[in-house]
Amino acid sequence: MTNYISMKIFSGNRLQQQERTAQTKKGLLRSFWAILALGGVLSVTASNAQNAVVAQTPPNLSNVTLRVAKYKGGWDLQLKLAGLDKFPYKVEFTEFTGGNLMTQAINANAIDLASGSEIPPIFGIQSNAALRLIASTRGPTIAQTLLVPKNSKAKTVADLKGKKIGYVKATTAHYFLIKMLEEVGLSLKDINAVALSIPDGLSAFRRGDLDGWATYGYAIAQAKKDGARELKSARNILSGNFLIYAAPTAVADPNKKAAIADFLCRIKKSQDWREASAKNLDNWSTKYAEAIGVEKKVVLDDAKEGLKQRRSQLFPISQPAIASQQNVADTFAKTGVITSRVNVAPLWDGTFTDAINKCK
């Protein structure tokens, strides 16, 4: 009996010891997994902290050279007059006569930033050009018109049927000429349409080689000096959107991207400066007239007339701007100017939306 009791006690103690050992093992196992989990959290936290440090590292602008396309008397002049030309990076300005040439230069990786109408990028799509549209400036549309010589008997666009009409290919002039003809039931096939550059068009018009000329800018004032007459204005045809073009390689480069963001803000501020007072507008008109070789009065009068329509403002990309360009592209496709319909949306890049919105 005593042996039986002793065995029961021994068995009970053994079971309790085994249970305690099992509980200890479970506790150790839980501690092991807890340590592993904590290590993972600490590892992720350390990794995130390291990434945060990298993300917060300011871009190095001192070694950046931003290659910018400009028109005569364009961005460089306006930034200088507004006192916004002290860049923390180097800027190389190259002068071009049109947005179509700028898109070609971007595609050839010769420039990083440019501006032009909605139209050149449409032609760029068909040639698989490497291009991004990163913002738009909406401004007045007054200096866009269809001219006829002083001795012309044409009273409406319909009177130009069968006539020799000059225009600037792949520009707003190309587009508004199509729309003007459409309004009177005609197309480019109903006229003798001749694609000419602005200088060549002005020369041909002055020689009397053209019955009409679809053009823009201050060539209009020069032609009117010789007695040219405006047959129809494109003021209510065009959107007024002037797009900012960028090279995809520049947008992808962190340092150049920072420089572009800064440059866009300076453009926005220089627009505000130009139109902030009559004094600023007068000063700009004086210098701009000197740069392009036109009388100051012509420039100032056009600027004042433009302000009556709308002031120039830089905006980030938007659905209305994309839709406007798509409408232009569809018009070109419908009339056979381009071989097929193109989708413009993939060209638009919202990388700089926050930077533009925060620019004050």
pLDDT digits (tens, 9 = 90+) for 1-59: 433 334 333 344 443 444 444 454 444 444 434 433 434 443 444 444 444 444 457 78
- Report, as an integer, the average pLDDT of 167-182: 95
Question: What pLDDT, on the 0 to 100 scale, is given for residue 23?
Answer: 52
Nearest residue to 81 via CA among 289, 251, 247, 248: 289
* Digit-coded pLDDT (tens) for 247-275: 999 999 999 999 999 999 999 999 999 99
Nearest residue to 216 via CA among 201, 194, 203, 236: 201
Work out the percent of the chain whose per-residue pLDDT is above 70.
84
- Report, as an integer, the average pLDDT of 135-151: 95
Q: How far apart are the C-alpha atoms of 237 and 249, rounded to whole Å? A: 34
Distances (CA, A) of 210 to 22, 175, 314: 102, 19, 37
Q: How far apart are the C-alpha atoms of 173 and 166, rounded to whole Å? A: 9
Nearest residue to 176 via CA among 151, 148, 145: 145
- Report, as an integer, the average pLDDT of 147-153: 96
Question: And the tokens for 324?
Answer: 């406007």
B/e letters for 193-226, b = 16+ CB within 10 Å, e = fewer, are bbebebeebbebbbeeebbbbbbbbbbbbbbeee
Q: How far apart are the C-alpha atoms of 46 and 54, rounded to whole Å? A: 12
Q: Can you identify the CATH homologous superfamily of domain 76-139+239-275+311-358?
A: Periplasmic binding protein-like II (3.40.190.10)
Question: What pLDDT, on the 0 to 100 scale, is given for residue 299?
Answer: 93
Q: How far apart are the C-alpha atoms of 138 and 132, rounded to whole Å? A: 18
**Position 128 pLDDT exceeds 60:** yes
Cβ neighbourhood burial of 23 (10 Å; 0-12, 13-18, 19+): exposed
Question: What pLDDT, on the 0 to 100 scale, is given for residue 19?
Answer: 47
Q: Across-strand partners of 244?
A: 115, 135
Same fold, 76-139+239-275+311-358 and 144-233: yes
Question: What pLDDT, on the 0 to 100 scale, is given for residue 98?
Answer: 85
Q: Residue ranges of the domains in the chain?
A: 1-39, 76-139+239-275+311-358, 144-233
Q: Are 114 and 245 in contact (CB under 8 A)?
A: yes
Higher-confidence position of 334 and 100: 334
- Report, as an integer, the average pLDDT of 218-241: 93
- Report, as an integer, the average pLDDT of 231-240: 95
Q: Are 331 and 342 in contact (CB under 8 A)?
A: no
Work out the percent of the chain whose per-residue pLDDT is above 90.
74
**Position 78 pLDDT exceeds 50:** yes
Q: Are 341 and 333 in contact (CB under 8 A)?
A: yes
- Report, as an integer, the average pLDDT of 166-194: 96
Q: For residue 297, name the pLDDT band (cuts at 50, 70, 90).
A: very high
Question: What pLDDT, on the 0 to 100 scale, is given for residue 344?
Answer: 97
B/e letters for 32-58, b = 16+ CB within 10 Å, e = fewer, are eeeeeeeeeeeeeeeeeeeeeeeeeee
For residue 152, give the amino acid letter: S
**Position 203 pLDDT exceeds 60:** yes
Question: What pLDDT, on the 0 to 100 scale, is given for residue 97?
Answer: 83
- Report, as an integer, the average pLDDT of 289-298: 91
Q: How far apart are the C-alpha atoms of 117 and 91, rounded to whole Å? A: 23
Q: Can you identify the CATH homologous superfamily of domain 144-233?
A: Periplasmic binding protein-like II (3.40.190.10)
Please state the pTM of the whole predicted model. 0.80
Question: What pLDDT, on the 0 to 100 scale, is given for residue 50?
Answer: 44
